[in-house]
Amino acid sequence: MNATRTTEPADADLRPARPSAPRQVLALALLIVIPLSVGFLGSIATSDQVDGWYASADTAPWTPPNEVFGPVWSTLYVVMGFAAWLVWRRVDASSRRAALIVFVMQLVLNSIWSPLFFGGYPIWGTAALWAAVIVILLLVGTLTETMRQFWRISALAGALLIPYLAWVVYATTLNVYIALAN
């Protein structure tokens, strides 16, 4: 008996195609510009207060000079955008969408912290500093989850967020100190 065999498409044929090179470059640029924009908007919200109440605030002895914050945050924003791009380009990762949603959530928390901490203090006093502590602790938790989800998709993407997490934990200690001392 002569049986006719039909062949099913290979799994590789079922996977979506990797985005084109121009689309990848556009996505990379966008995913870097978005966090940089968050940082830029945060700097606008804080610039008046850095020379205002913050200049005379009792800060932690381990607080770096103000000139350090801009370059560090700018570098971290670029790196986090690159990490998000590494996750975005993994079209075969079913958890990509969830990971990028958590990434956006941590970015939103990041964007809330600066105006609350710097801009809130002249209005609400120490209550704003403690509210900022809550926001930054939520940021640490959400960022940790972002790292976990990124790591499952791309170990490099997860590892790239380690300096960001370290800096946010460090910033948390500065925030707590200022809330306690002022």
Query: Does position 4 have pLDDT exceeding 80, yes or no?
Result: no
pLDDT of the residue at 9 = 47
**How far apart (Å, rounded) are the C-alpha atoms in residues 22 and 176?**
45
pLDDT tens track for 114-165: 999 999 999 999 999 999 999 999 999 999 999 999 999 999 999 999 999 9
Neighbours of 72 (CB within 10 A): 16
pTM, two decimals, is: 0.86
User: Model confidence over 92-124: pLDDT tens digits?
Assistant: 767 899 999 999 999 999 999 999 999 999 999
Per-residue pLDDT reduced to its tens digit, 29-75? 999 999 999 999 988 878 777 878 999 999 999 999 999 999 999 99
pLDDT of 90 reads 87
Q: How far apart are the first and last CA of the chain?
A: 90
Q: Which long-range contacts (CB under 8 A, 24 or more apart) does 72-78 make?
A: 72/167, 73/39, 73/167, 74/36, 74/39, 76/163, 76/164, 76/167, 77/32, 77/35, 77/36, 77/38, 77/39, 78/32, 78/35, 78/36
Contacts of 65 (CB under 8 A, 6+ apart): none
pLDDT at 8: 47
Residue 27 has pLDDT above 80, yes or no: yes
